[in-house]
Amino acid sequence: MLKNFSTEIRQYLIITGNYWAFTLTDGALRMLVVLHFHQLGYSPLQIAMLFLFYEMFGVITNLIGGWLGARLGLNRTMNIGLGLQIIALSMLLVPASMLSVVWVMAAQALSGIAKDLNKMSAKSSVKLLVPQDAEGALYKWVAILTGSKNTLKGVGFFLGGVLLSLLGFQDAVLAMAAALALVFLFSLLNLKQDLGKAKHKPKFTHVLSKSRAINYLSAARLFLFGARDVWFVVALPVYLAANFGWNHWWVGGFMAVWIIGYGVVQSFAPLITGKKTGNVPDGKTAFLWASGLMLIPALIALALHFEIRPLQSLVVGLLVFGVVFAVNSSLHSYLIVSYASRDSVSLDVGFYYMANAMGRLLGTVLSGYMFQVAGLEMCLWISTLFIGISALITLGLPRYFD
């Protein structure tokens, strides 16, 4: 069937399929770990800390991964990511008595490295498979790739719960490792060998971007994702359980629906942000959407403070936040691929996603600490502040349609 398509389309479909398969296992693994350790009596904050190395190693991986992609080719870094995820899953197949916190954190660290190698490779590859100057097509394909990934991550949450119920922890992990091994073999045989390899091998010192636009966008991305995770990772699930009596399945289901909806909106972001006018986004577009997003966590915090239907305000508010956040995220994902140099695309995209990982790490740590000392309202006010900073930073991005 793939033979009926052009080389570029075939490569895009293989890369997207790899990314989808990886994302399903990534979301399912997270839910498996959360549910399994919840059953063992770990607190939500302790469970969140299991993922600390996952985020920390994401920062390092994105910085080094872009350099590796430029030297080795994006097919190799994508396949390395798939291979590392299989190893991470295999680490969890040890007897239950050996599943210590340190061991699981190490497996999650390896999974974090794998995830960011895979993501950097997939996002960078799209730049090389779309003709130059076809910015509208580039925006559309980036939006589809990004949106479908997040939708499948939410599906992965459900998949993890289903596999745990039907197979148990170890058999569920084994099934995912076996399925991913088949994807890995297919990818080895079919991905183009030199995709993304720079004509001149870059030095390691080149990992830091020299582009003003990429530096500004990376800083804006850091605060944007810190603004999400400061309430999403720990504060929200604990608050829903403690204040409204939601059981674990209700909490997991809400977060899965949030991510799925977020991914769907990302896929349609080009239609939302004015594709019909013939314009593609620029710095002004990013500023306007970030400014609108900033109002939402502030309004939710005020509703909670004055006890204005707290549950409804929180749930509806966060669903609206998800829609607007998805558009912001999709805009950023398009802009980084657009700004990136074709000959060193993985370096630029890797640097940008390093900032993204730093934002997630910052948000994860603050989510646990600030919720513990000051509650969900403070987390939402910090989210508002971070989005405001992100919006101000986007004022430094290029504008094409003033």
Q: Which two tokens stand for residue 238?
A: 């604990």
Q: How far is CA 316 from the centre of its chain?
A: 22
Q: Which of 90-99, 147-156, 275-284 has the highest mean pLDDT?
A: 90-99
| Per-residue pLDDT reduced to its tens digit, 338-363 | 787 765 666 777 788 888 888 988 99
User: What is 2-394's CATH superfamily?
Assistant: MFS general substrate transporter like domains (1.20.1250.20)
At 257 the pLDDT is 85
SS3 5: coil
> DSSP label at 203?
P
Distance, in Å, from the CA atom of 154 to the CA atom of 256, rounded to the nearest integer, reads: 4
| Per-residue pLDDT reduced to its tens digit, 242-267 | 888 887 667 777 877 888 888 888 87
Q: Distances from the Cα of 60 to the Cαs of 47, 114, 120, 350, in angstroms?
A: 22, 12, 12, 10
Query: How much is the average pLDDT of 40-56?
Result: 74
Please, how many CA atoms are within 13 Å of residue 5, restricted to the half-sphere of its CB? 10
pTM of the model: 0.76
Distance, in Å, from the CA atom of 4 to the CA atom of 70, rounded to the nearest integer, reads: 30
At 199 the pLDDT is 54
Distance, in Å, from the CA atom of 290 to the CA atom of 357, rounded to the nearest integer, reads: 19
Position 383, amino acid: S
Q: Distances from the Cα of 247 to the Cαs of 215, 239, 251, 253, in angstroms?
A: 42, 11, 6, 10
**Burial readout 182-208 (b: 16 or more C-beta within 10 A, e: otherwise):** ebbeebeeebbeebbbbeeebeeebbe
The residue with greater pLDDT, 241 or 296, is 296
The domain ranges of the chain are 2-394
